[in-house]
């Protein structure tokens, strides 16, 4: 079963880290703090990290050292 991707999204005057499907939500004072936390979560889950701007558009995408196209022996 594939994991849920992790997103950094605006949350009022703060930033939130959420997984696809709305499973869990943690807020941070700055986007940088949220990205650091989201990166760790994405690495642990071996999923993609998506960073959204205040306008909701995806600004960045990071595989967090996990390439879903890689073949594992």
Whether 22 has a pLDDT exceeding 70, the answer reads no
Whether 53 has a pLDDT exceeding 70, the answer reads yes
pTM value is 0.81
The answer to which of 19-23, 42-46, 53-57, 65-69 has the lowest mean pLDDT is 65-69
Q: What is the rounded average pLDDT for all residues in the chain?
A: 85
Whether 24 has a pLDDT exceeding 60, the answer reads yes
Tokens at 44, concatenated: 């642990």
pLDDT computed for residue 63 by the predictor: 84
Instruction: Quick: pLDDT tens for 12-21.
Output: 999 999 988 7
Query: Edge to edge, what strands does the sheet with 58-62 contain?
Result: 25-28, 14-19, 6-11, 49-52, 58-62
């Amino acid at each position: 079963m594939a994991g849920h991707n992790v997103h950094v999204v605006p949350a009022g005057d703060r930033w939130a880290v959420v997984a696809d499907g709305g499973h869990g939500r943690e807020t941070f004072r700055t986007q940088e703090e949220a990205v650091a936390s989201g990166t760790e979560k994405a690495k642990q889950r071996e999923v993609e990290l998506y960073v959204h701007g205040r306008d909701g558009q995806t600004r960045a995408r990071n595989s967090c050292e996990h390439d879903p196209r890689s073949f594992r022996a």
